Amino acid sequence: MNSLEAPFGLQSVCHTLRSADAHLDRFAWLGDRLAVAIWTRDTEEAETVYDRPGHHTLSCYLDGGYRTERQKMPGRYGAPARLCALPGEHESRWWVRGHMHFMHLYFLPEHFTQRAVQELDREPRELTLADRTYFEDPRIASLCQRLANENWQNPDGLLRSNETAHQVLSLLLRAQGVRRADSSPKGGLPVATRRRLRDYIESHLAEPLTLGALASVAGLSEFHLARMFRTSFGLPPAAWIAQERIERARTLLRTTSLPLALVAEQCGYANASHFSHRFRERVGVAPTVYRQVVGG
C-alpha cells in the first residue's frame, strides 16, 4: 500500500504513521469500508501528531509500547492488550519510544453509530466515539487478537474478519459511545414514535413493508415520515429495511440450519434466488458460503 492508497485520505492515521516511518506489516480492506492494519515501530524517541484524521480508529497493542505516552497524560504508558479509541475529530500528540507492535481498526462514524437505534435505543446523530487512551476491555482485546491472527489474504479469513470487526464495533458502541458535544437534536421523530416504527419493522420483516404502512404507524404523512425517519434512523426507510433484512439473514445463517428458502421467507425476500442476489450484493459472498465460513 502506498501513501495514495492510505484509507480515508491524507489526514488519516494510516498516512500519519507511514510518514513517521512506522512499518506497515499487514493491511486489508475487510468489506463495508472497514480497514485493518498491523504496524511495527522501533524508535529511540519521536513525536507523533494526529490532527483530525476524519475517521475513527481503535488501536490494540499486541506487544511493547511500555514507554509510549500521550503528551497530555504523562506517566501513563501502553502495554499489550491496552486499547486506544481515537475519534475522527480528535487531535493528539504522542511521545513514542522503544518497540511497539499494534493493530489498528479503521472505521467511519456511520459504522459506529448505525447500531445505535437497535442496540441502545438512541439516535445515531446523538453519539460519537469517546476519546480514550490506554483503557482495558478483555472482550474487545480478545477480538482484536483474533483479527490480528486471521489470514486476511484468504477470502474466508476476510469474511471471518469482517464479522469479528462488526462484533468489536458493537462492543465499542456500548462501552465507549458518548453523546456528541455539539448534539442538540432538533426535528426527527419523537422517541415513542421511533420505537414504535423500529418494533413494527422488526416484527414485519417477513412481509412487504411500504412507506404508506409506516406513515400510518407513525401517524404522519408519507412526505413527513420519509424526512423525519432519515433524521432519526440515519437512513431512508427503504435503506433501513434493506439493512435490517440483511442483518436478520446473517443471524439466521449463523445460528440456524434453516433452508435458504425459509431464510428468504423470514427476511421478506420474494424467493431464494432474490435473497441470494441481494445477500451477495451486500455481503460479498453467497449465503451458502457465508454459512459455511461463519456458521456455528
Sign of CA dihedral 216, 186, 181, 16: positive
For the question of whether the overall pTM of this predicted structure is more than 0.85, the answer is: yes
Q: Are strands 83-86 and 127-129 parallel, antiparallel or unpaired?
A: unpaired
Quote the pLDDT of residue 235: 93
Can you tell me the distance from the alpha carbon of 108 to that of 258, in angstroms, rounded to the nearest whole number?
Answer: 33
Closest among 15, 172, 3, 150 to 83, alpha carbons compared: 172
For 41-93, what is each residue's pLDDT tens digit?
999 999 999 999 999 999 999 999 999 999 999 999 999 999 999 999 999 99
Go through the domains of the chain in sequence order and give each one's CATH number: 3-179 (2.60.120.10), 191-294 (1.10.10.60)
What backbone phi and psi angles, to 5 degrees, belong to 214? -65, -40
Tell me the three state secondary structure of residue 232: helix
Q: Are 66 and 78 in contact (CB under 8 A)?
A: yes
Cα dihedral across residues 116, 122, 123, 129: positive or negative: negative
Extract the C-alpha cell encoding 237.
Answer: 426507510
Q: Do residues 198 and 235 make contact, with C-beta atoms less than 8 angstroms apart?
A: no
The three cell numbers of residue 113 are 453509530
- Position 7 scores a pLDDT of 66
Distances, alpha carbon 112 to alpha carbons 134, 138, 206, in Å: 20, 19, 27
pLDDT at 296: 63
Q: Give, for 143, the enclosing helix (H) or strand (E).
A: helix 138-149
Residues with pLDDT less than 70, the chain: 1-7, 10, 183-185, 296
